Amino acid sequence: PYTGPLADDILRKRQQFLNPAVFHFFKNPLNLVEGKMQYLFDEKGRRYLDAYGGIATVSCGHCHPEVVDAIVNQTKRLQHSTILYLNPAIAEFAEALASKMPGDLKVVFFTNSGTEANELALMMARLYTGSHDVISIRNGYHGNAGATMAATAQSSYKFNVIQTGVHHAQNPDQYRGLFGSDGPMYARDVDEIITYGTSGRVAGFIAEAIQGVGGIMELAPGYLPAVYSSIRKAGGLCIADEVQSGFARTGSHFWGFEAHDVVPDIVTMAKGIGNGIPLGAVVTTPEIAEVLACRNYYNTYGGNPVCAVAGLAVLKVIEKEKLQQNAFNVGFYLKQRLSSLKDKYEIIGDVRGRGLLVGVEFVTDRHLKTPAKIETLGVMEQMKEMGVLIGKGGLLGNVFRITPPLCFTREDVGSFYHHISSSFHTYSSCFFKYSCRFSGRCDGLRVV
Ligand code: PMP
């Protein structure tokens, strides 16, 4: 049994000594002390079904034994910085990662995070093209340093620091967008930005295939091929941010961009690449990578021996345990169950996503699509009380983000469905309490 500090004590220290911007989803934040595949355990030994996976970071499962063994064995032998000496782990991992890429995407740069990966990708695009202007999509998230905060397009993640040279194109949002699912219509905005907002030449374009932080929004079909073509005509490079949609999570493909029939010039990744270990990467072509050949560019810890063996183990586990196929099958079933719930509860405005990257958007009015922010939080809190953890996101905070470890099973979906249904019931009955306390509204969870 766990004998360490308890939640109240940790919370007090956190409030006194840690970043005040850090937030918790729950009224009483959990002190998680152990993880095992799709389960997490709190200080009292209570088990939770993890349908969030640390925001899509846990690919193979919490403390997957093969990943843990790789980390422990390497730690016992050698942990070191990445630079100056040869190391077998980083070379083997780079080769394995390159083999998962289409086309000429064969050169890997390792980083410690998604932000660093995207900063490097944007810098390379600017160096390679000699242009500065970048186009990203509204509602996207790419990181919190200079260039990546500029590319990020949600006010809650943008601060008053210098963020130059990024234009934010209309989001090809299939739920709220003006053109529904007509991707090429949204792509016209990128042409207009190039024509009216730049010299006609751009450094590049960056996008997630499915916006994660933005509330699991899959780009409308036909959008990426049209945009990639416009960007390339303007001399720019196309960057795919696979931080959430990569590593088999979408089920139908290993990378999110593959569902859109495009081949990027640069691919960035983090989160799922390390099953929870701090690791990120940029993969590009030898020709683009060459821009750094005559410069001193290094990253002290990116791809260090311990993280590299972890990443290699993750790739092997995904293959061996057929996790992509599992994400496809279990994700399909999950979406089916959630869609059946949508037929029953008017508060569910949209069920979307791919594989085990699924979103459920809550609205108080299906026609007006009014965000049901308070209700989203309420149901989430209920589910936690019932032992199921999920995340939320979207600019307005009214979307459930369901991104479990890829070992999630059909039985887990059954249990998830059972708990979300009963939390709707419980929440319905205490809804008045919530609505009085928070918003004064009394509609929302009407059964249709
Ligand atoms: N890109 C995307 C799509 C992300 O979701 C995130 C993190 N939420 C990042 C980049 C930044 O990654 P990190 O937090 O590791 O810097």
Give tens-digit pLDDT for 102-124.
Answer: 999 999 999 999 999 999 999 99
How do 237-241 and 204-208 pair as beta strands? Answer: parallel
Q: Looking at the domain 7-60+322-439, which fold is it? A: Aspartate Aminotransferase, domain 1 (3.90.1150)
Lowest mean pLDDT among 17-21, 56-60, 290-294: 17-21
Q: Which residues line ligand 1 (CB under 6 A)?
A: 113-115, 118, 141-143, 208, 212-213, 241, 243-244, 270
Lowest mean pLDDT among 14-23, 108-117, 432-441: 432-441
pLDDT reported for residue 441 = 39
**Closest atom of ligand 1 to CA, residue 245:** 3
User: Can you tell me which residue has the tokens 């809804």?
Assistant: 431
DSSP 272-334: GGGTTSS-EEEEE-HHHHGGGTTS----SSTT-HHHHHHHHHHHHHHHHTTHHHHHHHHHHHH
Q: What is the pLDDT of residues 376-407, one digit of tens each?
A: 999 999 999 999 999 999 999 999 999 999 99
The CATH number of domain 65-320, selected from 3.40.640.10, 3.30.70.980, 3.40.50.150, 3.40.50.300: 3.40.640.10
Other CB atoms within a 10 A radius of the CB of residue 374 amount to 21
Please state the pTM of the whole predicted model. Answer: 0.95
Average pLDDT over residues 125-140: 98
Pick from 162, 148, 90: nearest CA to 117: 148
pLDDT category of residue 128 using cuts at 50, 70 and 90:
very high
Backbone region of residue 136 per phi and psi (left: phi > 0; alpha: psi in -120 to 50; beta: other values): beta
Give yes or no for residue 430 having a pLDDT over 80. Answer: no
pLDDT reported for residue 429 = 60
Q: What distance lies between CA 35 and its chain's CA centroid?
A: 20
Residue 439 Cα distances to 2, 52, 370, 397, 424, angstroms: 39, 27, 14, 15, 18
Distance, in Å, from the CA atom of 174 to the CA atom of 253, rounded to the nearest integer, reads 21
Q: Ligand 1: distance of its center to the CA of 143 in Å?
A: 5
Q: Ligand 1: distance of its center to the CA of 243 in Å?
A: 6
pLDDT category of residue 438 using cuts at 50, 70 and 90:
very low
| Domain boundaries along the sequence of the chain | 7-60+322-439, 65-320
Q: What are the helix and strand counts (H, E) for the chain?
A: 14, 18
Average pLDDT over residues 193-214: 98
Q: Percentage of the chain with pLDDT > 90?
A: 89
Give yes or no for residue 437 having a pLDDT over 80. Answer: no
Mean pLDDT for the chain overall: 94
Q: Ligand 1: distance of its center to the CA of 397 in Å?
A: 17
**Closest atom of ligand 1 to CA, residue 280:** 15
Q: Ligand 1: distance of its center to the CA of 207 in Å?
A: 12
